[in-house]
Chain A
Amino acid sequence: QKEVEQDPGPLSVPEGAIVSLNCTYSNSAFQYFMWYRQYSRKGPELLMYTYSSGNKEDGRFTAQVDKSSKYISLFIRDSQPSDSATYLCAISANSGYSTLTFGKGTMLLVSP
């Protein structure tokens, strides 16, 4: 079993839809949870960063972590065509120099 599982998609939605992106992980030692967005031919950029269980909201984006289920989610409200990108979850066991373990990414396509 891979440490982080993520559905590769593509996930196609119409503009304005609510999008739900998800990852599951296997190692209960993971404590830091991130979502990165990667546009075509670009490097990933950090979208959301959370620690421990609960929700974190930033504009149209909400990150949710359920450590008991080892499940993390990213919700996008009022999706826009500019949200079309690959979304990668990333998880780390501890702070400092701990490396990140990435999911393979979900490609999201938002049509006008």
Chain B
Amino acid sequence: KAGVTQTPRYLIKTRGQQVTLSCSPISGHRSVSWYQQTPGQGLQFLFEYFSETQRNKGNFPGRFSGRQFSNSRSEMNVSTLELGDSALYLCASRPNSGSTGELFFGEGSRLTVL
């Protein structure tokens, strides 16, 4: 069974640009979460989607947005990039509703903002 797939794995952008990251969850998983990981702040929750609806949102500015498609694939977008947005962005899927903690993570998309 294929794991969570994230693309692209690495990307470099400049300040002011925008970026879109993609995540394909494990087949059959309907919940997708996004986390930002930095050395200083660790893993921080961005948002979670279930059945194309945003269920929870973390404490990030409106420049961070996401969406989920009918096939459960998800994208997140960061507009007007800042240097501080450089991070590893991790996508995780859950088997189904009610499965606390059983997050299955992808390998992440490493974003560098110059």
Contacts and interface: CB of A to CB of B under 8 A. Distances in A.
Given A43-B90, A43-B108, A99 B98 contact: no
Contacts of B35: 102
A100 B101 contact: yes
A84 interface: no
B105 A44 contact: yes
A99 B90 contact: no
B90 A44 contact: yes
A97 B50 contact: yes
B107 interface: yes
Interface of A is mostly: loop
Nearest to B92: A43
A43 B4 contact: yes
Kindly state the interface size class of chain B when it binds its partner. 20 to 34
Interface stretch (B12-20, B41-49, B63-71, B73-81): B41-49
A45 interface: yes
Nearest to A96: B98
B107 A105 contact: no
Interface in B84-106: 90, 92, 97-98, 100-106
B31 interface: yes
A90 B101 contact: yes
A74 B100 CA distance: 19
Contacts of B24: none
Given A88-B43, A97-B31, A46 B103 contact: yes
19 contacts: A36-B105, A41-B107, A44-B43, A46-B102, A49-B101, A49-B102, A90-B101, A92-B100, A95-B98, A96-B100, A97-B50, A97-B55, A97-B56, A100-B45, A102-B42, A103-B42, A104-B42, A105-B42, A105-B43
Interface of B: 4, 31, 33, 35, 41-45, 48, 50, 55-56, 58, 90, 92, 97-98, 100-108
Interface of A: 32, 34, 36, 41-46, 49, 88, 90, 92, 94-105
